[in-house]
Amino acid sequence: MSERQTKLTASHWGVGLATIEGGRVVSVAGHPADPAASEINANIPGSLHGRARVRRPAVRKSWLAGRPGAVPRGQDSFVEVSWERALDLIAAELTRVRAAHGNRGIFAGSYGWSSAGRFHHAQSQLKRFLNTIGGFVRSEGNYSYNAALGLMPHIVGPYRSHVAQATRWPVIAKHADLVVMFGGMALRNTQVSDGGVSRHRMAGNLAACVENGVSFVNISPLRSDAAEVLRAEWMPARPGSDTALMLGLAHTLLREGLHDPAFLARYTVGFDRIEAYLTGAADGVAKDADWAEARTGVAAERIRALARRMAAGRTMISVAAGVQRTDYGEQPMWMAVTLAAMLGQIGLPGGGYTVGYGVNANIGNIERPFRWGTISQGVNPVTDFIPVAMISEMLLNPGGSYRYQGETRTFPEARLVWWAGGNPFHHHQDLNRLHRAFQTPDTVIVNEVNWTATARHADIVLPVAAAQERTDFGAGKSDNALVPMPRLVAPVGEARVEYDIYADLAARLGVAEDFTEGKTADGWLHEIWELTRSRGREKGFDLPDWESFLAGDVIALDDPSPDQVFLAGYRADLEAHPLPTPSGRIEIFSETIAGFDLPDCKGHPAWFPPRDLAAGQGAAYPLALLSGQPKTRLHSQLDNGAYSLSHKVAGREPVLIHPEDAQARGIAEGAVVELYNARGRCLAGARVTDEVHPGCVFLWTGAWWDPDFAAPQARDRHGNPNVLTHDLRTSSLTQSPAAHSARVEVRRFEGTPPPVEAHDPPAFDAAP
């Protein structure tokens, strides 16, 4: 009988205790110190050792034969090759592209969460390697809260800094009377955090708020976006109408004299512009509660009553990240800041606003006490970039122009695309368009653990070691703990550690010393741990040496600011703590943005109707498509694991549909249904429930795209919502993804549903 061992591992969704037997991970449970450990850990064994695992280097058959266009990417078979041949092919292709097109011909997307480890971080490793050979075109921003990254510096300050300074939930529990949640506060989102989470605190902190008498209002089409413990009032507004609702609330505050003119005069600039917009003096249309009712579906008197409640006590306004992933997604954030300023509670304990509560496990709950060590990516000599959500646009329109942050920019021509640690065929919108776009580069290289749709669209696929197959340490970007990550098992098949892959490539290209600096992976781990120890000593923490740490348990450090109140210093003394905006104050009206003269983003927050509705698509596609982070996995990671599979319906992703909408379409619980619009179609398994508002359907993100290229619109067999979402951006200010503005229709699928093939490997052939 083989020996059973239990060892620590770390993931973005928490610390796990892995049981190893016979050289395999057989189970992963949560750490006993975690009060609400995530069940996502249960996916690890099945994904690590499943059929979809990439076991050997593989090359697309048509590309290897010198006829790359003979069969489209994503539809071709593969030829397994040796590591020597794969690396020789890559070295030769890098040399060719750089000689013919310069390093501006290389695009390294590498957007995604990859591993929680500090050293074996896919993006950092790839970018460090490419920087040693002259750089690459990069992407800027992220899919989660890109509109916030692009807008907030103009009106308040850098979003990444401010979200780390968010008012802590224990402070809200002590001081707030009301929390108004635009987009809810879904606990499923708070399972995860960038780099890891040692203790899931959110559920307990929300429960403490309720115990202290804090009331919650859930403004979302999905009732379960607020946990049952909150006993939240549900106010389902039409998707994409949050800005209109906020304007109706603001008009009531203004008309009834419930706003704070003194705060507005001292701490903000430009309120007179939004006042003219609210009253209709600017355009002849008053944005009152009746106007808001017509756009949101929320009764005018209910809007007025909520405005009065917000003014009557200490109110925290929360805007979920998903709210800004809509058409004109900058507007609800800007309007939330304006609404909070009108209440005059910004900088007070339990009052003000936060964009991003609930986007991960740690915002408002904990922060890291100092910066952890990491490997340097080096310096990228190529300065060109694209906004993260413009991949298809770049590939389909090289040399084309676009607007971004007031500039007119030009798309580069990407001849070689290299992806590591991410899955654009999960993150990106309009997957059929992305499929077409991926036909345009000369070469696509993908590092992967499993045969995802992105790997299937590659010319060269490199099998890489999973987090449990290498040594590292976990430390979240906003967590207060350090987690040992000893290697649990040997890599499956011929999978290799990415650092070693790049070291071999660097040697082929004559830059081995530049990339490795003479260090092995273990040498780098010791170095970045010593850097972490040094920074810890500066903050009064005495951390153990590397060997002792790796053999030990989780190290939890003190919370650096448990009583934190966002913008408290600014409110106390704005001269001493001005904001990093042109005026040094909150910019309700931005002269900078107004000067860009954009048709889709004015100089103040404003209402724009969602594009599909404005284009008259409501009749043909009467249902609003909602899509969000699933509870069963992180985005698309480990979709082939046991926990994720256990929540499929008829083998497909579940779609929530209201009983009224289901009855009108003859759809029963558990039936296979087809969602469709002009962009695409997919199959899903029906869950009939009143937790979703009538006129809406909810489909989790992350089901691995499984197109049937013989079916109409390459119908997805598995239930990926991004075959239905449009590939337009929020606005020309930030060019952010706007996936939450799609319209669809749903019908029963007649006949025998096709089998799901997403978790199977592709076809393999002999070398041509």
Find, among 766, 738, 746, the residue nearest to 323 by Cα. 738
What stretches of 540-585 adopt beta strand conformation (E)? Answer: 555-556
3-state secondary structure of 318: strand
**What is the pLDDT at residue 79?**
98
**What is the pLDDT at residue 113?**
87
Please tell me the distance from the alpha carbon of residue 81 to that of residue 628, in angstroms, as a whole number.
38
- Judge whether 683 and 718 are in contact, CB under 8 Å: yes
Angle in degrees, CA 47, 48, 52, rounded to 5:
60
Residues of the chain with pLDDT under 50: 1
The order of strands in the sheet holding 472-474 is 472-474, 481-485, 555-556
Structure tokens at 19: 């049981």
Find, among 149, 108, 99, 106, the residue nearest to 126 by Cα. 108
**What is the pLDDT at residue 155?**
98
Buried b (16+ CB within 10 A) or exposed e, 438-454: bebbbbbbbbbbbbbbb
3-state secondary structure of 95: helix
Structure tokens at 483: 């987690």
Please tell me the distance from the alpha carbon of residue 92 to that of residue 80, in angstroms, as a whole number.
18
The order of strands in the sheet holding 215-219 is 233-234, 215-219, 178-182, 315-319, 352-355
570 is catalytic: no
Structure tokens at 106: 């290389």
- What average pLDDT does the structure give for the chain? 97
Please tell me the distance from the alpha carbon of residue 724 to that of residue 655, in angstroms, as a whole number.
13
Q: Own/partner pairs for 339-342, CB < 8 Å, 24+ apart?
A: 339/246, 339/249, 339/250, 339/253, 341/260, 341/263, 341/264, 341/267, 341/268, 341/271, 341/586, 341/588, 342/250, 342/253, 342/254, 342/259, 342/260, 342/264, 342/271
Backbone angles phi, psi at 205, to 5 degrees: -70, -35
**What is the pLDDT at residue 1?**
47
3-state secondary structure of 654: strand
**What is the pLDDT at residue 3?**
85
Residue 752: DSSP 8-state: P
Strands 443-448 vs 407-410: parallel, antiparallel or unpaired: unpaired
Q: Residue 282 carries which side chain, given as an amino acid letter?
A: A
Scanning 654-722, the segments in alpha helix (DSSP H) are: 659-664
Phi-psi sector, 266: left (phi>0), alpha (psi -120 to 50), beta? alpha
Q: Residue 93 carries which side chain, given as an amino acid letter?
A: E
How many angstroms separate the Cα of 248 from the Cα of each of 72, 252, 286, 358, 387? 51, 6, 9, 25, 33
How many angstroms separate the Cα of 704 from the Cα of each of 100, 403, 430, 619, 718? 36, 32, 14, 30, 7
Please tell me the distance from the alpha carbon of residue 702 to that of residue 629, in angstroms, as a whole number.
8
Kindly state the greatest CA–CA separation across the chain. 81
The residues that bridge with 355 in the sheet, in sequence order, are: 319
Structure tokens at 69: 């266009």
Enclosing H/E stretch for 21? strand 14-21
**What is the pLDDT at residue 260?**
98
13 is catalytic: no
Please tell me the distance from the alpha carbon of residue 218 to that of residue 223, in angstroms, as a whole number.
7
**What is the pLDDT at residue 2?**
63
Please tell me the distance from the alpha carbon of residue 630 to that of residue 518, in angstroms, as a whole number.
42
Q: What is the tens place of the pLDDT at every residue in 89-101?
A: 999 999 999 999 9
Enclosing H/E stretch for 688? strand 681-688
Q: What is the tens place of the pLDDT at every residue in 463-514?
A: 999 999 999 999 999 999 999 999 999 999 999 999 999 999 999 999 999 9
Which of the following is catalytic: 63, 113, 419, 700? 113
Burial of residue 161, with CB atoms counted within 10 A of its CB: 0-12 exposed, 13-18 middle, 19 or more buried? exposed
Structure tokens at 47: 């994904």
| Residue indicated by tokens 């300074």 | 165
Scanning 212-359, the segments in alpha helix (DSSP H) are: 242-255, 261-267, 271-279, 289-296, 300-312, 330-343
Which of the following is catalytic: 13, 63, 111, 357? 111
